[in-house]
Amino acid sequence: MSTRVRLFVPALVVIGVVVTSIALTGGLAFRPAASAVAIASPTPLGPEATLDPAPTPRPPLGGTELYGFLPYWQMSNAVADYLHAAPVTTLALFSVSARSNGSINEKPLGYRRITGDIGRRIIREAHGRDARVELVFSSFGATRNGRLFGRLAPATPTAAPAAPGPSGAFASAAPPPPSAATSIPPRAGPAPWTRTVPALVRLVADLGVDGVNVDIEQLDPLDREQYGQFLSALRAALRKDNRDAQVSVATEAGERGIANAATAAAAGVDRLFLMGYDYHWSGSQPGAVAPVDRLDGIPTLRWSIGRYVEAGVPRDRIILGLPLYGTTWRTLGPDRATLVVGGGIPWIPHDNVDTLRDPAFTSTRDPLELSEWFAKPDGGEWLLTYYDSPATLRPKLGLARDEGLAGGGFWALGYDRGLPGYADLMATFVAGDVGREESPPAP
């Protein structure tokens, strides 16, 4: 995302509100409002999901499931050892993807690590700890998804393929507008996803995992019906071989993610991982990656949960996903009110162990957004970092329990390695010792 030049400081708050609101209304990138498009077809997924059904009942207290994504670039023997102290109830191995014809792409490093010795060790040892393991299937970008779901023709041999990337945690590039995507000729014949389903079933059986997490991001609304059919068919095919197999999805925190979550829920998925992060992102003003509340915009964790429920997503199927990472912005001063002169970049706690363990290190806690932040001088500029500590994550997990959700989760395991408190918090949550009374009160 290109750097923006602000002309005067009083405009910063207005710009931050506009940029952040635009970003979150479409799942952290620019797109049409979800309310303007159909969410799902009446068949074969059952009644059409909309954004205005009655909210699902709120149970007395949420669950303590703990869902953790492990990206392929974190898969090593050292991280496998670390996982013994990370008591997740479901471990999601990120990720494999499809070729243009729908078959599983066996060339990327993610596939090779998951199916190789390190992946199989991680799966075996997770099962030894009584944890479920899910294989993540990912597809990013409006055009790539349009081809997967059969709306668009395959790429020509000279076209550059869409680049793979991590979960929505670091996604910042906006997808092409629908007018650009729909200018590509339609595809003839069955959609590639019809080939992806049996390929995933075979890979699940080979690995011995317990299900599939589907992480489809930047989905064009025109592909939402096929997305729902894909999820429904995948779940039916998996459960034909294993009646306990599950399908989960990762869905964005903004309006597009809300619409996708409603479709996924109507398709019968077992869990929906609400990606509760990137509310402030690389192209926004500085602030908490996962704010509970805020003054510089509307979308927050509390807002996203409410919108999911209003869309008809059952509370007891929602996992509140939280970040084990932060973001650093380059600014002209030591706080968020000063001019931003460089886009945000990921800040990983494990890569900054020396900083966090330095006895002289101090951070400030934002009491409304519930995030740690600190500023470090860098020449004539400053590096302003917001991140979550165990102390700020705990009340957010309390929010998940207070809202009656199935549990909490993290992107991404390993980012906290070498630091105290994170694994202890996970164990405390799973044990049921994070109560609803720890949820931050609404302002």
What is the β-pairing status of strands 364-366 and 371-378?
A: antiparallel
Instruction: Please check the confidence at residue 89 and state whether its pLDDT lies above 60.
Output: yes
CB 123 within 8 A of CB 93: yes
- The string of DSSP letters for 179-216 reads HHHTTSPPPPSS-THHHHHHHHHHHHHHHT-SEEEEEE
Closest CA to 386 of 321, 428, 331, 433: 331
Query: Is pLDDT larger for residue 396 or for residue 171?
Result: 396
What is the C-alpha separation between 376 and 362, in angstroms, rounded?
11
- pLDDT value of residue 30: 27
| Strands annotated E in 252-337 | 271-275, 318-323, 326-331
Interval 275-301 mean pLDDT: 97
What is the C-alpha separation between 391 and 372, in angstroms, rounded?
9
Domain ranges of the chain: 11-438
What is the C-alpha separation between 299 and 20, in angstroms, rounded?
8
Instruction: Please check the confidence at residue 80 and state whether its pLDDT lies above 80.
Output: yes
CB 264 within 8 A of CB 314: no
Interval 102-119 mean pLDDT: 98
pLDDT grade, residue 155 (50/70/90)? Answer: confident
74, 76, 82, 84 alpha-carbon torsion, rounded to 10° = 110
Q: Which residues contact 62 (CB under 8 A, 6 or more apart)?
A: 315, 316, 400, 401, 402, 403, 404, 405, 406, 407, 436
Kindly tell me the burial class for residue 362, based on how many C-beta atoms sit within 10 Å of its own C-beta (0-12, 13-18, 19 or more).
Answer: exposed
SS3 376: strand
Single pTM value for the model: 0.84
Interval 308-316 mean pLDDT: 97
Tell me the backbone φ, ψ of residue 88, rounded to 5 degrees: -70, 145
Domain 11-438 CATH class label: alpha beta
pLDDT in tens, 16-44: 433 344 344 444 432 323 333 232 322 23
pLDDT in tens, 176-191: 344 444 455 666 689 9
What single DSSP character describes residue 40? -
Instruction: Please check the confidence at residue 385 and state whether its pLDDT lies above 80.
Output: yes
